[in-house]
Amino acid sequence: MSRKLSLAAVTFALTATTSLAATDITWWHGMAGRNGEVINEVAQKFNASQSACALTPVSKGTYEEALASGIAAFRAGEQPNILQVFDAGAATIINAKGAVIPAEDLITKAGYAFDRNAFIDGVRYFYADAEGKFVGMPFNSSAPIMYINDEALKKAGVEAPKTWEEFEAIAPKLKEAGYIPLVQSQLTWQFTENFFSRNNIQFATNNNGYDSVVDTKLKVTDPNLEMMFEKLKTWKDQGYFAFYGAGWNDNQKVFEEGKAALWIGSSGSFGGLQKTATMPFSATFLPYWGSIKGAGTNSFIGGAALFAMSGKSDEENKCVADFFQFLTSPEIQYFYHKSTGYVAITKAAYELAEKDGYYKEKPVAEVGIKQLLLPAGEWSKGYRLGFYPQIREIMEREYGRIFSGEATVKDALETIEKEGNELLARFAKTAG
């Protein structure tokens, strides 16, 4: 008890001294491991760069937990200044008018100029409103890319595939060479959402949900998506694809150990993979189908954005704007890009990394950003779907059923569409 008391006293003393000197702001995030450490480093850099504001980052667990804590805290009036929200949660927070101050308004109000065109194309649309105004500040941005076990491809004497047709052609050779040809880590993000973006196919009505929440419907019974999952199922049966469940790491592990030839991961996996991979690796774009007309467009931006929560004093908001400004500076972007593998979000930062020769040294680091910079198609800008974290859970369940043989691809996709549409209708009621 006395230990607790003295701890409280120390904390109080600490906060008392800092609050005399600076405005305290907090930042809740959902990052762990190396990526969590880098967040602390970014905060330290910000605190060292000026004296008016003191930023404290707090890890809230996973992305989902960070969003849930942020919502609970907001309802209790105890929200942090900055909340990190992942791609799938974007609709939840952006549709809650009044929960956040749009990043663009916050920054211009603090007296800074805001140039939307400074951001790379793939980043610009995802966390913005229908008029293109930035609501969230893109932060850790990633793209689903394909990592390559160089040894495996050499041994099999094949080249990395650009399309799924090419993969089908080399898969038997990879298997013969003693490798699992393909693994992936997130069927929702990599084989659903970004299946639609890379192949330029509509994901949901109402302009992928951007135009309105009312009557938005999923289009996951699309015959092309059905074909993709039929293929995955066949590949699994033939031993060309292995599936270890919905957990990200269970699937990544096989690649790290050098047992798999190709792994669909995130550009943000690069930082960690450099430490954990037991073999030399490279990376390339997420494959698309050559047979689909107009395919090969850029992918949706993944990862998360930072949102400035409302209900805070002007002083604190000014500090948040300062921090956003600091965060988008080329130097910090480059530092973050280098430390984590998440892509640089501004053109200036990308150029800085290029000029510095970073991509000559680490070509893998450029793959994600290059994929985001590919020509955009009509359906590759983003999606805005309410209760989407729950819809993803339905997808995970149904995809699991496909691979365990409990459901056919057709039935699974129909279930996702039916239950997903019910959730979208529910969300429309809450938002309306």
Partner 1 sequence: MRGTSGREGQQAPAKRVQFSSPFLPYLFLAPQLAIILVFFYWPSVQAVQSSFYLEDPFGFGSTFVGLTNYTDVLKSTEYLGIARFTAVFTALVTFFALATGLLLAVKADGVIRGNAADKTLLIWVYAIAPPVAGLIGMMFFNQHIGPMVELARWFGWDIKVGLDYSDTAFAMIVVSVWKQIPYNFIFFLSGLQGIPVSVREAATLDCRSELRRFWTVTLPLLAPTAFFLLIINTTYALFDTFGVIDVMVKDKAANNPITLVYKVYMDGFRGSDLGGSSAQSVILMLVVLVLTVFQFRFIERRVHYN
If binding is defined by CB under 8 A, does position 242 make contact with partner 1?
no
If binding is defined by CB under 8 A, does position 404 make contact with partner 1?
yes
Query: Which of 231-239, 278-286, 375-383, 389-397 is the region at the interface with partner 1 (rule: CB under 8 A)?
Result: 389-397
If binding is defined by CB under 8 A, does position 431 make contact with partner 1?
yes
| Residue choice 121, 166, 396, 414 for contact with partner 1 (CB under 8 A) | 396
The encoded tokens of residue 351 equal 């150029």
Residues 1-20 that bind partner 1 (CB under 8 A): none
By C-beta, is 99 or 145 nearer to partner 1? Answer: 99
Q: Smallest gap, in angstroms, from Cβ of residue 261 to partner 1? A: 18
If binding is defined by CB under 8 A, does position 95 make contact with partner 1?
yes
| Residue choice 18, 56, 96, 231 for contact with partner 1 (CB under 8 A) | 96
H/E segment holding residue 304: strand 302-309
Q: Smallest gap, in angstroms, from Cβ of residue 106 to partner 1? A: 18
Q: Is 83 helix (H, G, I), strand (E, B) or coil?
A: strand
By C-beta, is 230 or 393 nearer to partner 1? Answer: 393
Residue 344 near residue 337, CB atoms below 8 Å:
yes
| Residue choice 47, 129, 339, 400 for contact with partner 1 (CB under 8 A) | 400
By C-beta, is 95 or 140 nearer to partner 1? Answer: 95
Residue 202 near residue 208, CB atoms below 8 Å:
yes
| DSSP for 168-235, written as a single string | HHHHHHHHHTTSEEEEES-HHIIIIIHHHHHTT---BHHHHTTS-STT--B-TT-HHHHHHHHHHHHH
If binding is defined by CB under 8 A, does position 68 make contact with partner 1?
yes
- Return all residues near 170 (Cβ < 8 A) that are at least 6 apart: 156, 158, 159, 161, 181
Q: How far apart are CA 285 and CA 272, in angstroms?
A: 19
Q: Smallest gap, in angstroms, from Cβ of residue 272 to partner 1? A: 17
If binding is defined by CB under 8 A, does position 252 make contact with partner 1?
no
By C-beta, is 78 or 159 nearer to partner 1? Answer: 78
- Return all residues near 137 (Cβ < 8 A) that are at least 6 apart: 103, 127, 305, 306, 307, 308, 324, 327, 328
Q: How far apart are CA 76 and CA 18, in angstroms?
A: 25
Q: How far apart are CA 295 and CA 286, in angstroms?
A: 12
Total residues binding partner 1 (CB under 8 A)? 42
| Residue choice 3, 4, 97, 293 for contact with partner 1 (CB under 8 A) | 97
| Residue choice 398, 409, 413, 416 for contact with partner 1 (CB under 8 A) | 398
If binding is defined by CB under 8 A, does position 393 make contact with partner 1?
yes
If binding is defined by CB under 8 A, does position 36 make contact with partner 1?
no
Q: How far apart are CA 363 and CA 365, in angstroms?
A: 5
Q: Is 341 helix (H, G, I), strand (E, B) or coil?
A: coil
| Residue choice 86, 127, 243, 383 for contact with partner 1 (CB under 8 A) | 243
Q: Smallest gap, in angstroms, from Cβ of residue 123 to partner 1? A: 25
- Return all residues near 263 (Cβ < 8 A) that are at least 6 apart: 146, 147, 149, 182, 183, 184, 185, 251, 252, 254, 255
If binding is defined by CB under 8 A, does position 246 make contact with partner 1?
yes
By C-beta, is 102 or 389 nearer to partner 1? Answer: 389
The encoded tokens of residue 352 equal 């800085």
If binding is defined by CB under 8 A, does position 276 make contact with partner 1?
no
- Return all residues near 259 (Cβ < 8 A) that are at least 6 apart: 179, 180
| Residue choice 98, 117, 131, 361 for contact with partner 1 (CB under 8 A) | 98
Query: Which of 170-178, 273-281, 321-329, 424-432 is the region at the interface with partner 1 (rule: CB under 8 A)?
Result: 424-432
If binding is defined by CB under 8 A, does position 419 make contact with partner 1?
yes
Binding stretches for partner 1 (CB under 8 A): 62, 64, 67-68, 71, 74-75, 92-93, 95-99, 243-247, 250, 253-254, 387, 389-390, 393, 396-401, 403-404, 406, 419, 422-423, 426, 429-431
